[in-house]
Amino acid sequence: MVLRAVGVIAEAQQPAKVHRIGMLISGSASTHKSYIDAFRRGLRDFGYVEGENVLIEYWYGEGQRERYPALAAEMVWLKPEVIIVGSVGFIEAVKQATSTIPIVVGGAGDLVGTGLVASLARPGGNVTGSTRSHIGLKRKTAGVVAGGL
Is 13 a domain residue? no
Is 149 a domain residue? no
> What CATH number corresponds to the domain at position 86?
3.40.50.2300
Nearest to 104 by CA among 122, 78, 124, 82: 82
Alpha-carbon span 54 to 9, nearest angstrom: 24
pLDDT number for residue 55: 95
Q: Could you tell me the pTM of the whole model?
A: 0.76
Contacts of 115 (CB under 8 A, 6+ apart): none
Is 148 a domain residue? no
| Number of structural domains the chain divides into | 1
Is 65 a domain residue? yes
Mean pLDDT of each 10-residue bin along the chain, 149 residues long: 50 75 91 90 94 94 93 96 88 92 82 78 81 52 44
pLDDT number for residue 131: 72
Domain that holds residue 115: 18-142
Contacts of 98 (CB under 8 A, 6+ apart): 76, 83, 126
Strand-strand pairing, 138-142 and 103-108: unpaired
